[in-house]
Amino acid sequence: MSGECNDQQDPVNRLLATARGDAVANPFRVTGVMMQYYYVCQRELWFASRNLEIDRENSAIVRGTRVDDSSYGDRGEENLRLGMISLDLLEDGRVVEVKPSSALTEPARMQLSYYLWYLDRVAGVERDGVLAHPTERRREDVELTPERAKKVEDAIRKIHEIVSDESPPEPEEKPFCDSCAYHDLCWC
Amino acid sequence: MDRNYHVFSDGRIERKDDTLRVVTDDGEKKHIPIEHAEAVFLHGQIDYNTRLIGFLNDHGVAAHVFGWNDRYSGSLMPERGQTSGRTLVEQVRAYDDPDHRRDLAASFVAGSIHNMRANVTYYNGRGHDLSRVITDLDNASERISSGMRVEELLGVEATARRAYYQTFDAVLPEAFALEGREYNPPPNPVNSLISFGNALVYANCVSAIRATALDPAVSYLHEPGERRYSLSLDLADLFKPLLADRVLFRLVNRKQITTDDFRQEVGACLLTEDGRTTYTRAFEETLEETVEHPNLKRKVSYQYLLRLEAYKLKKHLVAGEPYEPFKKWW
């Protein structure tokens, strides 16, 4: 019995219960973007979890939206929304995640891995993924191996820890800070 | 950085294809490139329709409306991105916590006095002896203590501002004697200029606040009042010396504005259309001036300083990081 009680406290189980629409006392959601932020910048993750607005005129944001819309205009216009996740597009049964550049590959890989994990655990659908960088004409296959699934679940627990905190992690100067939509909010 | 556009004539503002168009009553047509607009300021009698509101909303552009006597009478604010229950809850919580409210109120007063002092120091070094005013401001500043009630802080601010206004009489020519600050309506040219400038600072602060999902009506130094954006008053106090007062000093001392730019109307002294145009142009140029920001490590416009102030306040309220009021650092 006590084991079941602990299970309810585990963020991964809470997330799954939330996603399945079970009655959960304290629902917990992780979006694909949150998973990406966790690997890019944990302060950004905290800001995003509080809906602190980003600078929409930020050139990187504008660019990302444009690459998304223009490269796959006919198919990608409607993102496929599935509970907490929003897939860029499905192609030959594979989940494709579109990124403007390959500058931050691991975060994008984990975002996609999270989608695959979510599809598998919540919808019971096994899918492979493709990371696409249309501007660079590069693609990379991503598969949900047991190691990746574990990495996703560990990340979910860490994300829970960060977003439950009253205050964000301290700012930390990173090479890509300059192009971040939260830059001014972070450093002002 | 995006800029403000002012419409002084009467007429109509409308969407024309993908731009804004102003058609004045005498048939003149002007286009405003909406991609580069922060806000439009409507000073004349202007017609508009819902199509315009949708268009402004899509581009995140505010429209500020001014009535008789250049009084701010309201804004059409873009809806996008300005709803955040959590932000509002934190904002109200801080108001409701006496210590927290006091700390914020004290920050605003400290910042305001610092920025008034910056103007006085500048003129003190230019042939005017204003050391007395500087001492008064420093004394006021030292009176701020953590145990003060908000009313006392308002008193400190008022004392400081009274002392500060002596600068106006020292620096400005005789025809622009202040003879005490009066508004509603302003009785003489310099009061009229202060009122007009403050209204522009205030409206720009409304824009900045509304870009952050903070509620402009929940304030800390000023009492949240009905029918006005009192948080805008809190922030505007910080920036009036930098924006409104500097423009006033410059225009009057360079004789770009003279007593001919005013007209007397039932006990009020009001700027003529020429006067408003001259003032507004100089004000907008000032908003576009830039300064190197020590933390952002790039140049930012004075107008963007208002936005940053709203960011800082929001970050403080939501993330609990300390709030440092704007203090002119250059």
Same domain, B119 and B201: yes
Q: Which residue has the higher pLDDT, B7 or A72?
A: B7
- In a mutagenesis test of the B interface, which of A43, A45, A46, A53 is the best target, namely the one with the most B β-carbons within 10 Å? A53
Same domain, B123 and B51: no
Evaluate if residue A17 carries a pLDDT over 90. yes
Kindly list the residues from chain B whose CB atom is less than 8 angstroms away from the CB atom of residue A166.
Answer: 320
Q: What is the DSSP string of B189-207?
A: HHHHHHHHHHHHHHHHHHH
Of A46, A167, A184, the CB nearest to B296: A184
**CATH number assigned to the domain comprising residue B149:** 1.20.120.920
Residue A166, chain B, CB below 8 Å: the answer is yes
Residue B149 contacts residue B102 (beta carbons within 8 Å): yes
Residue B70 assigned ligand-binding role: no
What is the dihedral sign for C-alpha B218, A183, B200, B125? Answer: positive
Residue A2 has a pLDDT of 41
List beta partners, residue A133.
A138
Please indicate whether, in this complex, the C-beta atoms of A53 and B86 are within 8 angstroms of each other. Answer: no
Same domain, B224 and B257: yes
Same domain, B50 and B114: no
Same domain, B59 and B201: no
Residue A111 lies in a domain: yes
Residue A126 lies in a domain: yes
Please indicate whether, in this complex, the C-beta atoms of A52 and B314 are within 8 angstroms of each other. Answer: yes
Residues of chain B short of pLDDT 70, as ranges, are 1, 80-83, 226-227
* Nearest-angstrom CA–CA distance, B313 and B234: 11
Q: To 5 degrees, how large is the angle CA B39–CA B45–CA B48?
A: 60
Residue B329 lies in a domain: no
Residue A181 lies in a domain: yes
Residue B247 contacts residue B283 (beta carbons within 8 Å): yes
Give the 3-state secondary structure percentages of chain A, helix then strand then coil, rounded to 5.
55, 15, 35
Of A52, A184, A187, the CB nearest to B318: A52
Of B81, B87, B296, the CB nearest to A56: B81
Residue B31 assigned ligand-binding role: no
Picking from B9, B77, B18, the residue whose alpha carbon sits closest to that of residue B42 is B9
* Nearest-angstrom CA–CA distance, B114 and B313: 18
Minimal CA separation from A26 to chain B, in Å? 17
Instruction: At B304, list the tokens.
Output: 């963007």
Same domain, B111 and B61: no
Residue B213 lies in a domain: yes
Model confidence over B14-69: pLDDT tens digits?
999 989 999 999 999 999 999 888 899 999 899 999 999 999 988 889 899 988 77
pLDDT band at A6 (very low <50, low <70, confident <90, very high): low
Minimal CA separation from A168 to chain B, in Å? 6
Same domain, B130 and B208: yes
Residue A173, chain B, CB below 8 Å: the answer is no
pLDDT band at A3 (very low <50, low <70, confident <90, very high): very low
Residue B100 lies in a domain: yes
Please indicate whether, in this complex, the C-beta atoms of B212 and A53 are within 8 angstroms of each other. Answer: yes
Of A53, A168, A184, the CB nearest to B319: A168
- Between chain A and chain B, how many beta carbons pairs sit less than 8 Å apart? 43
Residue A145 lies in a domain: yes
Of A166, A168, A188, the CB nearest to B311: A188
- In a mutagenesis test of the B interface, which of A45, A46, A180, A188 is the best target, namely the one with the most B β-carbons within 10 Å? A188
* Nearest-angstrom CA–CA distance, A114 and B58: 33
**Total number of domains constituting chain B:** 2
Residue A1 lies in a domain: no
Contacts by A57-66 with C-beta closer than 8 Å and gap 24+? Answer: A58/A179, A58/A180, A58/A181, A58/A183, A59/A179, A60/A100, A60/A179, A60/A180, A60/A181, A61/A181, A63/A100, A64/A99, A64/A100
Kindly list the residues from chain B whose CB atom is less than 8 angstroms away from the CB atom of residue A51.
Answer: 84, 86-87, 213
Model confidence over A75-86: pLDDT tens digits?
444 567 888 998
For residue A155, what are the domain limits? 11-187
Kindly list the residues from chain A whose CB atom is less than 8 angstroms away from the CB atom of residue B315.
Answer: 52, 185, 188
Minimal CA separation from B150 to chain A, in Å? 26
**Total number of domains constituting chain A:** 1
Model confidence over A119-138: pLDDT tens digits?
999 999 999 999 988 778 88
For residue B151, what are the domain limits? 85-319
**CATH number assigned to the domain comprising residue B35:** 3.100.10.20
Residue A1 has a pLDDT of 41
Local structure of B322: helix, strand or coil = coil
B311, closest residue in chain A (CA to CA): A185
Residue A9, chain B, CB below 8 Å: the answer is no
Check whether the bond before B185 is cis (ω within 30° of 0). yes
Picking from B200, B175, B197, B195, the residue whose alpha carbon sits closest to that of residue B184 is B195
Residue A4 lies in a domain: no
Same domain, B161 and B189: yes
Calculate the average pLDDT of chain A: 84
**CATH number assigned to the domain comprising residue A169:** 3.90.320
Average pLDDT over residues A98-123: 90
Local structure of A135: helix, strand or coil = helix
Average pLDDT over residues A162-173: 94
Please indicate whether, in this complex, the C-beta atoms of A46 and B319 are within 8 angstroms of each other. Answer: yes
Residue B152 assigned ligand-binding role: no
**Residues within 8 A of B (CB atoms), A 86-145 only:** none
Residue A76 has a pLDDT of 45
Residue A167, chain B, CB below 8 Å: the answer is yes
Residue A172, chain B, CB below 8 Å: the answer is no
pLDDT above 70 coverage of chain A, percent: 82
ipTM over the 0.95 cut-off: no
Same domain, B137 and B255: yes
Please indicate whether, in this complex, the C-beta atoms of A50 and B86 are within 8 angstroms of each other. Answer: yes
Residue B327 lies in a domain: no
Residue A66 has a pLDDT of 53
A164, closest residue in chain B (CA to CA): B319
pLDDT band at A55 (very low <50, low <70, confident <90, very high): low
Residue A135 lies in a domain: yes
Minimal CA separation from A78 to chain B, in Å? 20
Please indicate whether, in this complex, the C-beta atoms of A51 and B311 are within 8 angstroms of each other. Answer: no
